[in-house]
Amino acid sequence: MKELTIDATVENIDRVTDFVNEQLEGLDCPMKVVNQIDIAIDELFGNIANYAYNPDVGPATVRVEIKRDPLSIVITFIDHGVPYDPLSNRDPDVTLSAEDRKIGGLGIYMVKKSMDGIRYEYKDGRNILMIEKNL
């Protein structure tokens, strides 16, 4: 397991993405899967950066674990910000046109649809959001 603790800022999304992608090197991960993971990082770390400590900046930890049977990656995002379960919101109605849809929720919906597992818990004053993707 590898771990990175970094300020939760939008400017650090690329560093988090690079950190996760380094863990994927040598695993023959299809580019489609890498892109899905990168989009999930952008959405989830971006939400932490924009909302967890607003208007302040606080730390976020990103943990990466590679599992072997079946081969998968588990990425855990941990912050000490405002308690928030992004999985508690209803999925947006994607049958509506963009103009008729309410703002918000589409990013986490895309993450839920593209990952093989996602779960949230608030424990010991920390938001813990874990995603898993089979490789």
pLDDT for 108 equals 87
pTM (predicted TM-score): 0.91
> Is the pLDDT assigned to residue 64 strictly greater than 90?
yes
The contacts found for 49-55 with CB under 8 angstroms, 24 or more apart, are 49/8, 49/9, 49/10, 49/12, 49/13, 50/10, 51/81, 51/82, 51/84, 52/8, 52/79, 52/80, 52/81, 52/82, 52/84, 52/127, 53/8, 53/79, 53/81, 53/82, 54/82
As a whole number, the mean pLDDT across the chain is 90
pLDDT for 109 equals 83
Give the pLDDT confidence of 20-58 residue by residue, as tens digits.
999 999 898 999 999 999 999 999 999 999 999 999 999
pLDDT for 56 equals 94
